[in-house]
């Protein structure tokens, strides 16, 4: 992305300032410049292929927007959010996402809904598979013999930290897909 800005190095000051602002802002919002990291005018100018003046002006604008803090004789830092600010952001996000979901639910077609269900089930299958693999690697699928009730002793061989969880995963994934194909609700699929 930043390579594109180098071609504008001979452009007017306002354009360079705007491009610098956009590039730095994008890197802050993406997390490439994490909270608390230093924003060096010289390094940013070199990275963007422009002089320090448009970078300095961009940093001032980022401070006005609340994304950076300029400290005398220290330079600029990516601003760290306070806990109340994070809570406020999450409350706003929760309200917006809820509204978006309600609006989408009232305007979704049956074909789109089926596509979303299939995508969601793929996500669940992937999560289940990765969780079982992680448990296998950690040995969490084995329990000491003395802690098992006698009725479950016969299942002892199914839960060894030796990759056996993949058999359970494969079986439950197969069952879920078979029920999905037959029209049975996915919620009726029980885990082992």
Q: pLDDT (tens digit, 9 = 90+) per residue, 72-105?
A: 888 899 999 999 999 999 999 999 999 999 998 8
69 or 134: whose pLDDT is higher? 69
**pLDDT of 167 over the 60 cut:** no
**What is the C-alpha separation between 169 and 172, in angstroms, rounded?**
5
Residue 8's CATH number: 1.10.10.10
pTM: 0.49
Structure tokens at 2: 């930043």
Same-domain pairing of 70 and 116 = no
Question: What pLDDT shows up at residue 125?
Answer: 86
Q: Domain for residue 155, yes or no?
A: yes
Q: Domain for residue 83, yes or no?
A: no
Same-domain pairing of 67 and 6 = yes
Torsion angle, CA of 43/47/53/58, rounded to 10 degrees?
Answer: -100
Q: Domain for residue 28, yes or no?
A: yes
Question: What pLDDT shows up at residue 118?
Answer: 94
Q: Domain for residue 98, yes or no?
A: no
Residue 139: band (very low, low, confident or very high) from pLDDT cuts 50, 70, 90: low
Torsion angle, CA of 12/14/17/18, rounded to 10 degrees?
Answer: -110
Q: Domain for residue 96, yes or no?
A: no
Question: What pLDDT shows up at residue 179?
Answer: 57
Q: Domain for residue 58, yes or no?
A: yes
Same-domain pairing of 53 and 116 = no
Q: What is the count of structural domains for the chain? A: 2
| Phi, then psi, of 172 in degrees rounded to 5 | -70, -35
Q: Domain for residue 87, yes or no?
A: no
Question: What pLDDT shows up at residue 162?
Answer: 45
Q: Domain of 131?
A: 112-188
**What is the C-alpha separation between 185 and 192, in angstroms, rounded?**
17
């Amino acid at each position: 992305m930043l390579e594109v800005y180098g071609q504008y190095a001979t452009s007017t000051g306002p354009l360079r300032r705007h491009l610098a602002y956009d590039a730095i802002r994008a890197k802050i919002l993406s997390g490439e410049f994490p909270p608390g990291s230093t924003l060096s005018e010289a390094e940013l100018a070199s990275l963007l292929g422009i002089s320090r003046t448009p970078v300095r002006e961009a940093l001032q604008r980022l401070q006005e927007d609340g994304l950076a803090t300029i400290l005398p004789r220290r330079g600029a830092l990516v601003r760290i959010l306070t806990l109340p600010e994070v809570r406020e952001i999450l409350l706003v996000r929760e309200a917006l996402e809820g509204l978006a979901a309600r609006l989408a639910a009232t305007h979704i077609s049956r074909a789109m809904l089926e596509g979303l269900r299939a995508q969601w089930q793929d996500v669940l299958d992937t999560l289940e598979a990765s969780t079982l693999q992680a448990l296998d690697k950690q040995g969490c699928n084995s329990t000491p013999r003395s802690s098992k009730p006698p009725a479950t002793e016969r299942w002892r061989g199914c839960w060894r930290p030796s990759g056996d969880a993949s058999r359970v995963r494969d079986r439950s994934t197969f069952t879920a897909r078979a029920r999905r194909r037959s029209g049975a609700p996915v919620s009726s699929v029980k885990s082992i």
